[in-house]
Amino acid sequence: MGLEYLVRDALALDYGQRPETGIRIKVVGIGGGGCNSITRLSKQGINAELIAINTDKTHFSIVNAHKKVLLGEKILQGGGTGGNPEIGEQVAQLAAKEIYNILDGADIIFTLAGLGGGTGSGAGPVINEIAKETGALVVSMVTMPFKAEGKKRWNIAETSIERFRKYANTVIVLDNNRLLELAPKLPLVKAFAIMDYLIGDVIKNLAETVTLPSLMNIDFSDLVAIMRNGGTSTILYGEGNYYTPQDAVMDTLNNPLMDIDYKGATGALIHITGGSDMTLHTVYKIAEGITSGIREDAEVKIGARIDNAYTKKLKITTILTGVHTPYAPRKEVRMEPNMLQDLISIVS
C-alpha cells in the first residue's frame, strides 16, 4: 500500500496557522551606505525593527527606518565625519547608552555598513560591541568599496573589518568589485541597489525561515550553531531553472561575493527559494551539490521557502562561514573538471 493515507492526511492539514516563533530581529544601518540599505530593506518588507544610525543629518530625510539616531550632533552639527573613522568611533562611544537602549531586547542584531568612509567604518565596530553587550547574536554584513573609489577607502575598509570582527559573531563580507566582475555591464549607480537588494534578501530569507512556516525551517538554535563562531563569511548566490538544478548549483559555487577559496569553509547555511512544485528531494540534492564543494565536517543547515514568483525557477543563497581572511593572495575560484562531473551526477 505504501504511504498513500499518511501522505493524504498529512498534506490535508493546514500548517498555515502555525504561530510565529517570536524571534526578535533588529537591523541597524550605519553611515550613508548602511542607512541606504535600511531604506531599501524597508521596501522589501521584513518582520524586523529597522534602525538607521548616521552622523549626516541631511541624509536622514531620504532614509526610511523605524528609528533614526544622529551621532555627534554637538560636535559635527549633523555634517558627517568627513571620511574620518576615528571621529565615527568617538561619536558612537558618546552615544553608547542611547544605542544600548535601542538595541536591547533583540535575539539577533544585524549591523550593515558600506566600509571606506568615516561613520560606517568607525562607528560600526563600537555598535557591534554594544550589540554584543545586549546578549544578542550579532551578524554584520559589510561591503568593500569599489576599487575606483581609491586606495584610501580600501585601506580604511580593511582595518575596519578586523574591528567589526572583534565583537560580531559573524562578519559577512561582500565585495562590490566582485559584483562588477559577475555583472560587468552593470552601471555603477545600479550596483549599490543590487548589493542592497541582496543584503535585504538574505536577511529576509533568514528571518522568514526562522520566524515563519517554510517548506524547510531553520530553527533559531540552528542559526546560532552556524553563526556563533562564524568568523569571516561570505555569500554565494546562484539562480537557475527547476529542471536543471545542477546548473543552479554550479552558478552558486561560481558566484562568491568575496574573493575566496570556499573549500575550507566551516559552515554553510543554504537557503533555497522555488515555486510550489519544488520538492524536498530537489532541495536535498541541491544542498548535497553545494556541500560537496566544502569541507566534509562543515556544519550545514538548509532552509527552503516557496515563493510563487519562482515557479519553475530556483534561487540559492548560501552563507559560508569560517572562510579564510578575505584579502590574502587571490585564489582562483574554479571547479575542477572531475568535481563538475561529480556535481552533475549528484544533483541530476
Contacting positions for ligand GTP (CB under 6 A): 31-33, 36-37, 55-56, 80-81, 83, 88, 114, 116-120, 143, 145-146, 149, 153, 176, 192, 195-196
Residue range at the interface with Mg ion (CB under 5 A); choices 63-71, 76-84, 182-190, 300-308: 76-84
Residue range at the interface with Mg ion (CB under 5 A); choices 24-32, 64-72, 121-129, 145-153: 24-32
Minimal CB distance to ligand GTP: which residue? Answer: 114
Q: How far is the CB of 38 from Mg ion (least distance, A)?
A: 13
56/196 with CB nearer Mg ion: 56
82/105 with CB nearer ligand GTP: 82
Neighbours of 288 (CB within 10 A): 16
Q: How far is the CB of 56 from ligand GTP (least distance, A)?
A: 6
Q: How far is the CB of 292 from ligand GTP (least distance, A)?
A: 32
User: What cell was used for 304?
Assistant: 527552503
Q: How far is the CB of 11 from ligand GTP (least distance, A)?
A: 42
- What is the DSSP annotation of 72-113? -HHHHTTB--SS-HHHHHHHHHHTHHHHHHHHTT-SEEEEEE
Pick out residues in 146-165 that bind Mg ion (CB under 5 A).
none
Of 25, 28, 32, 38, which lies in the binding site for Mg ion, with binding defined by CB under 5 A? 32
Helix (H, G, I), strand (E, B) or coil at 306: strand
Q: Closest Cα to residue 197, out of 241, 149, 252, 235?
A: 235
192/262 with CB nearer ligand GTP: 192
Q: For Cα atoms 308, 310, 314, give the angle at the middle one, nearest 5 degrees.
A: 145
Place of cell 538544478: 245
Pick out residues in 273-302 that bind Mg ion (CB under 5 A).
none
CA distance 202 to 172: 11
Query: Number of residues in contact with Mg ion, rule: CB under 5 A?
Result: 3
Q: How far is the CB of 35 from Mg ion (least distance, A)?
A: 8
Q: How far is the CB of 119 from ligand GTP (least distance, A)?
A: 4
Pick what 326 binds: ligand GTP, Mg ion, none; C-beta below 5 to 8 Å, kind-dependent: none
CA distance 128 to 83: 20
The values of phi and psi at residue 223, to 5°, are: -60, -45
Terminal alpha carbon distance of the chain: 28
What's 119-150 look like in SS3?
HHHHHHHHHHHHHHHCCCEEEEEEEECCHHHC
Amino acid, single-letter form, for residue 301: K
Q: How far is the CB of 81 from Mg ion (least distance, A)?
A: 7
Pick what 319 binds: Mg ion, ligand GTP, none; C-beta below 5 to 8 Å, kind-dependent: none
Pick what 125 binds: ligand GTP, Mg ion, none; C-beta below 5 to 8 Å, kind-dependent: none
Of 27, 35, 53, 56, which lies in the binding site for Mg ion, with binding defined by CB under 5 A? 56
Pick what 120 binds: Mg ion, ligand GTP, none; C-beta below 5 to 8 Å, kind-dependent: ligand GTP
Q: How far is the CB of 88 from ligand GTP (least distance, A)?
A: 6
Pick what 307 binds: Mg ion, ligand GTP, none; C-beta below 5 to 8 Å, kind-dependent: none
Q: Closest Cα to residue 123, out of 153, 97, 84?
A: 84
> In whole angstroms, what separates CA 83 from the centre of its chain?
25
Residue 280 and residue 273 in contact, taking contact as beta carbons nearer than 8 Å: no
CA distance 132 to 100: 10
Q: Which residues bind Mg ion (CB under 5 A)?
A: 32, 56, 80
